[in-house]
Amino acid sequence: MSNRKNRYSQIIEAVFFKYYRPGLDELAFARSDIAEAAERLGVAVPKNLGDVLYSFRYRANLPASVAQKAPAGHEWVIRPAGRARYKFALAAASRVVPSAMLAQTKIPDATPGVIEKYVLNDEQALLAKVRYNRLVDIFTSLACYSLQSHVRTSVPGLGQVETDEVYVGIDTRGAHYVLPVQAKGTSDTIGVVQIEQDLAVCATKFPDLICRPLAAQFLSNDVIALFEFESTEDGVAVVAEKHYTLVRPEELSPEELERYRRRPD
């Protein structure tokens, strides 16, 4: 794993500096640049070129040599820019980190035992627990329904993008919402680029619905962080964050229920 990470770092660094010039805030490149950089460096060409991009968008930090070229208060992120096209771009923030100070709310765990037994990976387990425990409904105060999971679609100017799950919702007025959800296990991070893509999907595919982009992340096997975002003049911003702990019914005490009743909305 460390050898692969080092190889990926060399490759992405070579791609960045192939196009970097002082003063630029966007550096366009193609997927083919990844293979070309590996060949120039004399390292094995990754079998999955997309894995190099995924690693630096959601798992690993860009090399220090790249990070140092960002002005104070900004970071380099990798954004899609069309079919097999990407760009390094400056952003005020690139990743969403759950708050360590936020109080947790206990929810009686409604996940079926057979799902717990056979779920295959962190992302699938997370999506299942969010779905069976109605966490999107609880978090948004909407009546929500899963429309489709692993939605792949094409967005003009971005190319193909993927959303882990899409919900539709209805409020007390009868207004309709679309809620794209990005899901991350404990080892991955939520990237603002994915939220930007979800906003673009909403605008393109569901223009008549109210878009409320969400993200979910495992903090541990039974603790789930949920986030809601909005687009601002300064980029994507977090507007709500809640942490839910899934417990057996007997683990939720009357004292805790009383405390929840006294909480502000």
Please check the confidence at residue 1 and state whether its pLDDT lies above 70.
no
Left (φ > 0), alpha (ψ -120 to 50) or beta: where does 241 sit? beta
Number of H helices, E strands in the chain: 9, 13
Q: Which of 92-101, 106-115, 255-264 has the lowest mean pLDDT?
A: 92-101
- Using a CB cutoff of 8 Å and minimum separation of 24, what contacts does 79-84 make? 79/158, 79/193, 79/196, 80/158, 80/159, 80/160, 80/161, 80/193, 80/197, 81/28, 81/157, 81/158, 81/159, 82/157, 82/158, 82/159, 83/159, 83/160, 84/30, 84/31, 84/32, 84/159
Query: What is the residue-wise DSSP string for 37-105?
Result: HHHHHT-PPPS-HHHHHHIIIIISPPPHHHHTTSPTT-EEEEEE-STTEEEEEEES--EE---SSPPEE
pLDDT for residue 3: 55
Residue 151 φ then ψ, to 5°: -80, 120
Alpha-carbon span 48 to 54, nearest angstrom: 10
Q: In Å, how far are 137, 138, 199 from 115, measured between CA atoms?
A: 20, 21, 31
List, for residues 44-87, the tens digit of each pLDDT value.
888 888 889 888 877 788 999 999 999 988 889 998 888 888 99
Contacts (Cβ under 8 Å, ≥6 apart) of 112? 132
In the three-class reduction of DSSP (H, G, I as helix; E, B as strand; rest coil), residue 180 is classed as strand
pLDDT for residue 124: 87
The average pLDDT across 242-251 equals 96
In the three-class reduction of DSSP (H, G, I as helix; E, B as strand; rest coil), residue 159 is classed as strand
Please check the confidence at residue 126 and state whether its pLDDT lies above 50.
yes
List, for residues 160-210, the tens digit of each pLDDT value.
888 999 999 999 999 999 999 999 988 788 888 899 999 999 999 999 999
Please check the confidence at residue 218 and state whether its pLDDT lies above 80.
yes
pTM of the model: 0.81
